[in-house]
A = this chain, B = another copy of it.
Amino acid sequence: MSRVINFGAGPSALPESVLQEAALGLLDFDGTGIGIAEISHRSKQFTAFLNDVESLICTQLEVPPTHSILFTQGGGTGQFSAIVLNLLARHRLLHPDLANEDRVLDYVITGSWSKKATEEARRLGGGRVNVVVDARPYSKDAKSFDNIPPHNTYTFSPDPALIYYCENETVDGVQFSSDVSSPNSFPFHLLPQEGLLPLVADYSSSFMSRPITRLADHAVIYAGAQKNIGPAGLTIIIVRNDCLVDVDAAAKLGAIPVPISMSYKTLADGNSVYNTPPVLPIYISGLVLRRMKELGGVQYFEQLNKRKADKLYAAIQAGEDKGLFKAKVQEGSRSLMNVVFDVIGDEAKFVAGAEEKGMKAIKGHRSVGGIRISLYNAVTEEQTDAIVEYMKQFVSDTDTQGQA
């Protein structure tokens, strides 16, 4: 079958040229006569490749020397735990005598994934969760995730063990603005002003889609690869070096013991090959990152992604004007990556019509329903135009029938 247009939310579309290159690499990596899935992670060829991947991220995102890049496994869900364990260990070493109820973990909840991250912090214990803000009371129906809440609703703690937010909510289609002067940005200016902040951002579904706002101010930024850059099974972490702490020393002081594969310091000390990394997912991600660089880096994709999203939101608005579509997310809080809306009326017909035209995976997450169109880097402007065209046609056809 010829390739379809894949608007899936992750795992998601990858550039066809990269997949063709990867297909060759499966049989022969870098002229070694050994396929990429078969070569030692300690071979000089793979070591060079891994260093290149690191440098492609560093250069494009302008990662400062205060930060390290780690490659690991386990996805966002693994990091929900790892951030708590590593940053509670750091806090324990800084403040050995505090009672657990005085170790505060600050969570900003703007969607399903930050809610899940918060639940994991509560499960693990070792500190008290403070919900900095929950966006639901500020939604149109007072119960949905449809907005980045106003800055005056955030209450940060004075010396938390971590401060968490999710930059882009894949399920709910809510994203912080990258413009720090916008009322929908993450309120960096409200953070405690002293010392190195334990600021953590989940960038899973927007990593490499545009520059990272105030990267240097973060303690940890992490992302699963399976949205913008590669296959599922690779997790990328950018960690400030003061967060590479001796978790065993912290455990001796009463912190929760940390599985060795989740210790940031162990991963960093081992240059991400303390244990066998996911070589094949790293390879494909590396090819995607090389292609990104050739095309003009994150700046290029920021512009492209903005154009794609603008077109799609305009098509939703046009349908909304006719009473046929309804954007789910409030203006200003809308994601450039995951565009969600409802079809007023025959949603099944809308989905079936798209599938007939080879446009797949547009159903919303099972927890919220509706339509979700993901516009990750590998989705081209032409593919976006195709769904926009289809939406216009759908509106025009339905509208005509309604008038008939």
Contacts of A47 in B (CB 8 A): none
Contacts of A37 in B (CB 8 A): 11, 14, 19, 230-232, 284
Cα-based distance from A358 to B76 in the complex (angstroms): 41
Contacts of A23 in B (CB 8 A): 23-24, 26-27
Interface string of A331-374 (1 = CB under 8 A from B): 00000000000000000000000000010110000100000000
Contact of A27 among B20, B73, B232 (CB under 8 A): B20
Does any Cβ of B come within 8 Å of A55's Cβ?
no
Known: A22-B26, A28-B3, A360-B34. Is A276-B123 also a contact (CB below 8 A)? no
Known: A1-B31, A232-B276. Is A259-B257 also a contact (CB below 8 A)? no
Which of A80-88, A131-139, A145-153, A180-188 sits within the interface?
A80-88
B28 adjacent to A280 (CB under 8 Å): no
B8 adjacent to A35 (CB under 8 Å): no
A257 to chain B, nearest CB (A): 5
Which of A38-46, A189-197, A299-307, A322-330 sits within the interface?
A38-46
Cα-based distance from A74 to B233 in the complex (angstroms): 9
Cα-based distance from A306 to B388 in the complex (angstroms): 61
Identical copies in the complex = 2
Q: Which residue of B lies closest to A84 (CB)?
A: B259
B11 adjacent to A38 (CB under 8 Å): yes
Q: Which residue of B lies closest to A78 (CB)?
A: B261
Contacts of A277 in B (CB 8 A): 232-233
Interface string of A39-72 (1 = CB under 8 A from B): 1111100000000000000000000000000000
Does any Cβ of B come within 8 Å of A260's Cβ?
yes
B278 adjacent to A281 (CB under 8 Å): yes
Contacts of A35 in B (CB 8 A): 3, 14, 19
Cα-based distance from A205 to B22 in the complex (angstroms): 26
Q: Which residue of B lies closest to A234 (CB)?
A: B233
Does any Cβ of B come within 8 Å of A226's Cβ?
yes
Cα-based distance from A281 to B38 in the complex (angstroms): 12
Does any Cβ of B come within 8 Å of A256's Cβ?
yes
Contact of A77 among B126, B231, B233, B261 (CB under 8 A): B261
A33 adjacent to B275 (CB under 8 Å): no
Contacts of A257 in B (CB 8 A): 123-126, 256
**Residue among A12, A14, A120, A232 with the most chain B CB within 10 A?**
A232
A125 adjacent to B251 (CB under 8 Å): yes
Contact of A224 among B42, B120, B224, B276 (CB under 8 A): B276
Known: A27-B3, A34-B6. Is A74-B11 also a contact (CB below 8 A)? no
Does any Cβ of B come within 8 Å of A16's Cβ?
yes
Cα-based distance from A39 to B1 in the complex (angstroms): 15
Which residues of A does B touch, CB under 8 Å? Answer: 1-4, 6, 8-14, 16, 19-20, 22-24, 26-28, 31-35, 37-43, 73-78, 80-82, 85, 120, 123-126, 224, 226, 230-234, 248, 251, 256-257, 259-262, 274-281, 284, 358, 360-361, 366
